[in-house]
Amino acid sequence: METDEAYQRKERDSLVAIVVLACLALTSLFVAFSYYCYIRNKVSKRHRINKKFNCEKKGDCQNQQEVTDNNALQIFTFKQLHSATGGFSKSNVVGHGGFGLVYRGVLNDGRKVAIKFMDNAGKQGKMNSRWRLFVELLSRLRSPYLLALLGYCSDSSHKLLVYEFMANGGLQEHLYPNNRSGSVPLRLDWETRMRIALEAAKGLEYLHEQVSPPVIHRDFKSSNILLDRNFHAKVSDFGLAKVGSDKAGGHVSTRVLGTQGYVAPEYALTGHLTTKSDVYSYGIVLLELLTGRVPVDMKRATGEGVLVSWALPQLGDRDKVMDIMDPTLEGQYTTKEVVQVAAIAAMCVQAEADYRPLMADVVQSLVPLIRSRRSAAKLSGCSSSFSLARSPDSPAGSQ
């Protein structure tokens, strides 16, 4: 009897041992399999990246689509872009900026594009690594308020960026009568200027607050606000200043990038750059929209050459602020509107970076202004689209 019990106990113990061992074996198998999947995933990811950059190096990627984080950037050959621009003909030049010439082009599929031919590109190793980071970054950024990068060409001696084409070019061409093309464009009316201010603010807000880590534009200015055929605005050239040549000036660590008249004082003095430096530049653009003046014009009377120094003391004064307004806007705005926009501009261009608002605050302040304009236009049966017609019921000084 006793031996039977002992035998049964032994049998039970062996069964438990077998079950435990089986469980352990299964767990080890599962862990090994997970590790195998993890390694496989890593290797194939690295393989994809290597393939992409080898292809770029050789410059032989025929119209190849590479997918980065769900966003497709087209890789063009130099030959393709050469033929899209009629051999980079002079007649297709639409602008000349800090990085080189910009060409109008038509792709094989009929799409109209703007092609930026980067100066000093392709020869420096540093440039290549910055270029890679830049293209990776741009492929991640998508917003209706940012100019879309469609693709690029990168071989050993050329670097070109292919953007969507914006029919009305840069904002500055519409603010100042002496534009490059020689013809005088229509001056933008108040309502359109305010809409552009809001859309540009939304572009910066996206870069600062909806991307992680935040992206600092570094060169926000009126020529980097591009206008489509309906005068809707998109912000361009974000992060591009970093890709430029080191020759731009001084040491890399404190190299001040950006454009004269738009650079925040703390950045100019110490090279310390934050999103608040962009907010300062945005304030300068608001001043351009209000006054129709360029940020720096040394041909003007003494004390008026630097826009911000001239305008700032008048922004907080209800009466004086009306004197700095662009004369072509007369009769299109109310005093209340001007005072509100001037207050936003004044906050943005404060010398103390910490006191400047966030771009989200700027957007919040501009939205009601544009909304009330729209509802007023609806009530009076007017269209809120771009027009030079002056609104008779909202003259300057009426509030």
List residues binding ligand ADP (CB under 6 A): 94-95, 97-99, 102, 114, 116, 147, 163, 165-166, 169-170, 173, 223-224, 226, 236-237
Q: What angle do CA 108, 119, 244 make, to 5 degrees?
A: 110
Q: What angle do CA 226, 228, 230 make, to 5 degrees?
A: 130
What separation, in Å, do the N-terminal and C-terminal C-alpha atoms of the chain show? 109
For helices 359-379 and 275-291, the axis angle rounded to 10 degrees is 30
Closer residue to Mg ion (CB): 218 or 356:
218
- Residue 98 C-beta: closest distance to Mg ion, Å: 7
- CA–CA separation, 345 vs 75, rounded Å? 40
Buried b (16+ CB within 10 A) or exposed e, 341-357: bbebbbbbbbeebeebb
116 is in an annotated binding site: yes
Task: Give which of ligand ADP, Mg ion, none residue 169 binds (C-beta under 5 to 8 Å, depending on kind).
Answer: ligand ADP
Q: Please, how many CA atoms are within 13 Å of residue 189, restricted to the half-sphere of its CB?
A: 14
Closer residue to Mg ion (CB): 195 or 218:
218
Task: Give which of ligand ADP, Mg ion, none residue 98 binds (C-beta under 5 to 8 Å, depending on kind).
Answer: ligand ADP
Write phi, then psi, for 86 (nearest 5 degrees). Answer: 60, 45
Task: Give which of ligand ADP, Mg ion, none residue 95 binds (C-beta under 5 to 8 Å, depending on kind).
Answer: ligand ADP
- Residue 58 C-beta: closest distance to ligand ADP, Å: 28
Closer residue to Mg ion (CB): 97 or 271:
97
Closer residue to ligand ADP (CB): 148 or 211:
148
- CA–CA separation, 341 vs 347, rounded Å? 10
Furthest-apart CA atoms within the chain: distance in Å: 119
- Residue 348 C-beta: closest distance to ligand ADP, Å: 20
Closer residue to ligand ADP (CB): 226 or 346:
226
- Residue 93 C-beta: closest distance to ligand ADP, Å: 9
Q: Please, which residues have CB within 8 angstroms of residue 20's CB and are 6 or more apart in sequence?
A: none
- CA–CA separation, 298 vs 306, rounded Å? 7
- Residue 163 C-beta: closest distance to ligand ADP, Å: 4
Residue in the structure block whose two tokens are 């770029």? 56
Write phi, then psi, for 100 (nearest 5 degrees). Answer: 135, -165
- Residue 361 annotated to the active site: no
Residue 160 carries which side chain, given as an amino acid letter? Answer: L
Task: Give which of ligand ADP, Mg ion, none residue 86 binds (C-beta under 5 to 8 Å, depending on kind).
Answer: none
Question: Where on the chain is the footprint of Mg ion (CB under 5 A)?
Answer: 97, 224, 237
Which of the residues 219, 237, 278, 326 is marked catalytic? 219
CB atoms within 10 A of CB 393: 10
Task: Give which of ligand ADP, Mg ion, none residue 114 binds (C-beta under 5 to 8 Å, depending on kind).
Answer: ligand ADP
- Residue 237 C-beta: closest distance to Mg ion, Å: 4
Closer residue to Mg ion (CB): 237 or 266:
237
- CA–CA separation, 171 vs 185, rounded Å? 11
* In 125-194, beta strands by DSSP E: 149-154, 159-164
Task: Give which of Mg ion, ligand ADP, none residue 279 binds (C-beta under 5 to 8 Å, depending on kind).
Answer: none
The answer to whether 343 and 315 have CB atoms below 8 angstroms apart is: yes
List the binding residues for ATP: 116
List the binding residues: 116
Catalytic residues: 219
